[in-house]
Amino acid sequence: MDYAAARKLMVDSQVRVNDVTDRALQAAMLEAPRERLLPADRAFAAYAEIEPEVAAGRRLMLPRDLSKLLMAVAAQPGERALAIAGPYAAVVLARMGLQATAQEADGAVFDVAGAGLADEGVATVVAPLAEPAGEDWDVIVSEAAVPARPEAWIAKLKVGGRLAVVERAGPTGKAVLYVRGERGVSRRELFDAAPPVLVELAPEPTFAL
């Protein structure tokens, strides 16, 4: 399969047509080897308009949605970025010149995607997703949705840091951008999206008599 041609078709038909105008982001997506993050028997689906599974329930985000999230954070070369449940996001950010780290709760994801991430210079961390690794991040992004405002993630941003994530409590979610300032955190809604929700962050069920 000609993956370079498939990447170009993906960018032309799923990214550029959805008002993603950042040239550096487009160039990174034209080069980032999405197929290397999938099992060999699913690599053929890397550039289709679907959410292919990596392992342990982790899926790559639709290229359209991820490109819009990444454009919103306005990533800059040299910044530090944490991709939570986001191996493809980590690779694209690394291609854009950021110091990228990918965090997963299940090491099985890195059993599949680890070699591809390592080749892109992406660091990896296996830890519960409710508590992001490190601190003072310039950028945090996730390819999966969260059921509510992720306070623990926001707390790990530096002043001026940006978090882009989909908040989803029903059939459809809303992609949002958080920016941490000196005096608080701003929130801006971006677009509708419906990636799978991180089960690790789902609230514990409560019962009442």
Domains and CATH numbers, the chain: 3-201 (3.40.50.150)
Nearest Cα to Cα of residue 88 among 57, 117, 50, 118? 117
Which residues in the chain show pLDDT less than 70?
203-209
Amino acid at 67: S
The per-residue pLDDT for 201 is 86
Question: Exposed (0-12), middle (13-18) or buried (19+): which is 117, by Cβ within 10 Å?
Answer: buried
Residue 43 phi/psi, 5° resolution? Answer: -60, -30
Amino acid at 96: M
The per-residue pLDDT for 106 is 96
Tell me the angle at which helices 108-119 and 87-95 cross, rounded to the nearest 10 degrees: 10
Q: What angle do CA 116, 166, 55 make, to 5 degrees?
A: 35
Distance, CA of 179 to CA of 139 (rounded, Å): 9
